[in-house]
Structures are given as structure tokens and as C-alpha cells.
Structure 1
Amino acid sequence: MTETAGKGPVEGAASSDATTSEPYEKLQAPRHSPLGSVIRRLRKEKGLSLKQLSESSGVSVGMLSQVERDVSNPSVRVLSAIRQALDAPLSVLFEPSVTRAEDPDFVRRAKSRPVLELGHLNKELLSSKSSHNLQLMILHVDKGGSSGEQPLSYPAEKGGMVLRGEIILQVGSQEAHLYAGDSFVFGPSVPHAFRHAGGEPSEVFWIIGPVSLDKQV
């Protein structure tokens, strides 16, 4: 499992925010700690060695070491396996964003969306910092980007809509070519995958519902 993002196995845009004409690049939240540092901190908080995390996640020790040192971008599948082994919510992997002091916890400002960079696939968190099980994000999928060669399976309902460009979405044994404006919903633990299609970068509004514990396999 040494795939890199966009070429190997993973998992959620308008070209600009509805309230501003500024391009996406200017809306990215300031970054302060690389993904590897976050994963290393979570692992140590759990009291796990690299070998123990490798055994529980199925990701090789070498790959884990590269990810923690930010030498390699993990694929979505690899990142998902690490996160599940650490029993960490998806939101904890995003960089904290700058928030206005007067904003309540349920608000996420357009200019303070944290971005998780995974090579050809970037995830932009829309969910607020308040405690909740519903995750909202925008997937920015560049040419060559995908969720990986193998389908993903996660015990939570998912849905969304293509905001720009095109993607190929595979759910179970079925596959659909989706264009801007097309939407989708599918159930928990259904194997799924997606990949970029068309010429321009794609942006997908992606929703992940609460984990369905009774449907885990």
C-alpha cells in the first residue's frame, strides 16, 4: 500500500464561494502543521508504536514513516485506513482555521475553510468546529485524481453533488458519469470509488453522515 494520492486507493466545489468572486486559491485557510505531524501526534496520544499502527491499519511501517515525515502524500485509502485505526474523526486531520471571535461554533466562514492537500485531490472542510457527526466538504479533483484503484468502504451514508467538471462515480457494481448539477446518495459500507473525468478540474460537494455501527462489517 504505497500508493500516492490520485494514483492509488481514498475518499468529498464551486469554483468560488457564492458570496465572493475571489478564486479558490485565495480562500484557502492558512496552514500551520503538516498532515504528518497531526498523524504522529494522534498515534503518540494513543500510545501506539509505528509497528502497532501498521498492524491495526494494514499500512506498512515504511509508508507510515514516510507519511509522518511528510515525505509522501498518502492516498485516500491509506489515509482512511490510518484514521480508522486511530479512531479519529475526519475533521481532526484538517488544519485548524482562523475564526472570528464573534462567530458561534456552528459557523464556518468561507475564508477560513481548512484544506487537506493530497496531491491531485484536495479536501476543503465546510463543517463547523462544533461537535457533530455530519461532515461536509468540497473535493477538488484535478486531472489524474481519484479515490484510488480499489473501492472504499466506510459505515456511513454518503451523498453530494458535482459542482464543476465531471467525475466517474462507482457504487457497488454500478458506475455513472456525473456532470455539474448531478447529485448522488448511497448507503453505508457500500464499496465506492471515483475518478476525475473531462478536461477541467472537478469540484464535488461531499457529505458523510454519522457512522452506522449496526452496519459495520
Structure 2
Amino acid sequence: MATIEATLNIGPRVRALREAMDLSLRDLAELSGVSAPMLSQVERGETSPTLQTAARIAGGLELTLSQLLRLDEGGSVSIVRAGEVRNGPARRGHAYEVLTPPLPGLRAELSRHVLDAGAATGGLDDPPMHEPGSREVAHVQDGALDLVIDGDRHRLQGGDTVTFDADLPHHFENPGPGPATFLAVVSAGLRRS
């Protein structure tokens, strides 16, 4: 019984996973069916969830209970299989998928983006939410992109790679004529806000 209770002390992991997915307590409550006050108590270590509650939290985080409890981890290697990628919300001709696992303490995230001709990853009304000090590396696989960063425009072609300060206002645009595909790695900032 002590082993199960120790295993269910998952508060810091739940919080790290929730924050990595950019979810508020209220968001996770809606996704999991576990109340926000209960989630807050779990995250702070004030209570250990039952197995049923832990399973609901795992589902809200798009994980199995085994993944949440780290029962299926085989050491320091974590593999995200092709069918296990997390899709970001597709909108305005921009679709993306996160290729890295939602692990606590992970300092970088790899994502694959597809932009339709004329589409953009965001703009003035949709700034990136990267923490201060973040860096981004983007590699254009196919097509052409314009990186618009802090008022400057940079044309990128297939095979080009760019590195920049991701905490500056920026977005990618596809000038066309066809779709553009690129990989992006965002690393966490050295400075904390």
C-alpha cells in the first residue's frame, strides 16, 4: 500500500505536464472531469488521488495512467511513435504537431508545421507565447517561408535553417504558391520571468 501511495504522489509531474501543454487548472478540469480545486490540491501534494482520479487526470493530459505514473518508462529514453504525436489546433491554413513527449523538465520542444499558401503561423493579434530568453531553430523542409521578426522580414527556402530569439514578436508566412513544411525547436529561456 505504501508503494501505491508513493506512486500516486504525482503533483509536481501533473503540474509540469499541464504547464508544458499550456493548460490552466480550469482547462485540465474540463478535459479530465476532475475539479480545479482537487487538481490544485494534487499538484501541491496536499492530497494523493485515487487510481480512478489519477486515470481521469492522465486522460485529460492525453496520457495513459501508466504513462502518468511512469510505469512504462524504460529509463532515460522516451520515444514518441508516429501515431502518438500531439496535434496542435489547426486554424487559418496552419496545422502543426508536437513531436516531443510532454515530460517534466524538458527544456526544448520539437514541432512540425504545415502552412498553406498565403497562411501564417500568427500575427499581431496572435503573438507567440515563448518565455523570456527562449530561442527557436526552424528548418524549412519544403516550400518557401518568410520569417517576420521584430519588424524585419527574412526569406527562407527549402533546406534553409534559421535561429532567432523566440521571445521577440515573430511569425512565419508562406508566400506560396504551394504549401510549406518546416520543423521548429523552441528551447526554454535561460532567464525566468
Q: In the alignment, which residue of structure 2 is the partner of 1:112?
A: 84
TM-score (normalizing by structure 2) = 0.56
Q: In the alignment, does 2:117 pair up with 1:139?
A: no
Kindly report which structure 2 residues correspond to 1:190-201, keeping only aligned pairs within 5 A, or say none: 190-201=168-179
Q: Give the Cα separation in 2 of the matches to 1:193 and 1:136.
A: 17
| Matching of residue 121 in structure 1 with residue 94 in structure 2 | yes
Structure 1 moving runs of 4+ over 6 Å: 97-103
Query: Aligned partners of 1:205, 1:138: CA distance in 2, in Å?
Result: 5
Q: Distance in 2 between matches of 1:162 and 1:46?
A: 40
Alignment check: 8 A CA contact 2:28 2:61 kept: no
Larger Rg: 2
Distance (whole Å) between structure 2 residues aligned to residue 173 and residue 134 of structure 1: 26
Matched, 1:96 2:75: no
Q: Distance in 1 between matches of 2:103 and 2:122?
A: 31
What is the distance in 2 between the residues matched to 1:124 and 1:114? 5
Written as runs of structure 1 = structure 2, the 5 A alignment for 1:27-42 is 41-42=27-28
Q: Give the gaps of 5 or more residues in structure 1.
A: 1-37, 48-93
Aligned mates of 2:102, 2:167 — CA distance in 1: 26
Between the two proteins, the alignment pairs up a number of residues equal to 133
1:65-80 mapped onto 2 (5 Å cutoff): none
Q: Which amino acid aligns with 1:42?
A: L
Say which SS state the counterpart of residue 119 (structure 2) adopts: coil
Rounded Cα–Cα distance in structure 1 between residues aligned with 2:153 and 2:29: 36
Aligned Cα RMSD in Å?
A: 3.4
Identify if the C-alpha distance between structure 1 residues 110 and 145 changes in structure 2 by more than 3 Å, giving closer, same or farther. Answer: same
SS at match of 1:189: coil
The answer (yes or no) to whether the contact 2:123–2:170 under 8 Å persists in 1 is: no
Question: C-alpha separation between the residues in 1 aligned to 2:63 and 2:175?
Answer: 31
Task: Report percent identity of matched pairs.
Answer: 17
Give the alignment's TM-score, normalised by structure 1. Answer: 0.50
Whole-angstrom distance in 2 between the partners of 1:200 and 1:103: 41
